[in-house]
Copies of this chain bind each other. A is one copy, B any other.
Amino acid sequence: MHKTRVRVVRDALDANETIAKANRDDFDRHGVTVVNLMGSPGAGKTTLLEAALAPDLGRRAGVLEGDVHGNLDADRLASLHVPVTQLNTDAGFGGECHLDANMVRSALPQLPLDELDLLVIENVGNLVCPAEFRVGEHHRVMVSSIAEGDDKPLKYPLMFRACELVAITKIDLIPYVRFDLERYHYHLRAVHPDVRTIELSATTGEGVAAWRTWLAEIGVGEPAGV
């Protein structure tokens, strides 16, 4: 039984890699840089997009919004006047806790790739499974709120290793919570020594310029800034 399960999981991951490669070829053909944005529920993924995707970013940006259910985040982003496509994992995908390459592939016909330079795929809020499924992205960003605690890199090491940039959000809350920023960085370096970080607060605006610059400058090639 256990062996069968391992085989099923491996087959699924192999198939995912194949489809992710096909997605990436499509993105490359259209010259679209793709970012996979991951993090816990409520880490601030959508808020980071609201803070960055203004017309003066200098790139034609779009969003593929992944959620188990509903379109609250897509509605929030609609006011930014960038193309937003909703992808729900409870509609035909069994309520999956992550996006996979095939789900993203099913959404490609709805994406105006010819009109974009940058596509951000906001993954389902989850610190485990999204790290295991590439979707065809060029870059992986993890959003980690200080409200979640300074131990999270040690508890979810795969996710913190899978990304090239950690956006540390809600740093304006540090005075009010039990969170040691130095200890957080220490834990983060232990699981991913070279990872880039940006400390952010959408409330005070701290770090938002660095985040926007990162998004404005990343290309389809090597991970930017690492």
Tell whether, in the assembled complex, residue B72 and residue A155 are in contact, meaning their CB atoms are under 8 Å apart.
yes
Tell me the smallest distance from the CB of A32 to a CB of chain B, in Å.
27
A181→B67 CA distance, assembly (Å) = 23
Which of A9, A67, A73, A176 gathers the greatest number of chain B CB atoms within 10 Å?
A: A176
Q: How many copies does the complex hold?
A: 2
A12→B1 CA distance, assembly (Å) = 10
Which one, B124, B147, B155, B158, contacts A147 given CB within 8 A?
B147
Which one, B8, B97, B156, contacts A41 given CB within 8 A?
B156
Chain B residues in 8 Å Cβ range of A128: 68, 95-97, 124, 126
- Judge whether A154 is part of the interface by a CB distance below 8 angstroms: yes
Tell whether, in the assembled complex, residue A152 and residue B41 are in contact, meaning their CB atoms are under 8 Å apart.
yes
A95→B9 CA distance, assembly (Å) = 11
A203→B173 CA distance, assembly (Å) = 14
- Judge whether A127 is part of the interface by a CB distance below 8 angstroms: yes
Which residues A57-72 have CB closer than 8 A to chain B? Answer: 67-70, 72
Chain B residues in 8 Å Cβ range of A124: 128
Size class of the contact patch on chain A: 35 or more
Q: Mark A200-215, 1 if CB is under 8 A from B, else 0.
A: 0001000000000000
Closest to A178 in B: B203
Tell whether, in the assembled complex, residue A70 and residue B125 are in contact, meaning their CB atoms are under 8 Å apart.
no
Chain B residues in 8 Å Cβ range of A109: none
Chain B residues in 8 Å Cβ range of A95: 128, 132, 158
- Judge whether A226 is part of the interface by a CB distance below 8 angstroms: no
**Contacts A40-B40, A97-B97, A145-B42 given; does A125 touch B176 at CB 8 Å:** no
Closest to A69 in B: B157
Contact sample, A vs B, 22 pairs, CB 8 Å cutoff: A9-B94, A40-B42, A40-B148, A41-B155, A42-B145, A42-B147, A42-B148, A68-B128, A68-B155, A68-B156, A69-B156, A72-B155, A73-B155, A95-B132, A97-B128, A124-B128, A145-B147, A147-B148, A172-B176, A173-B173, A173-B176, A176-B176
Interface residues of A (CB under 8 A from B): 5-6, 8-9, 12, 40-42, 67-70, 72-73, 94-97, 124-129, 132, 145, 147-149, 151-152, 154-158, 170, 172-173, 176-178, 203
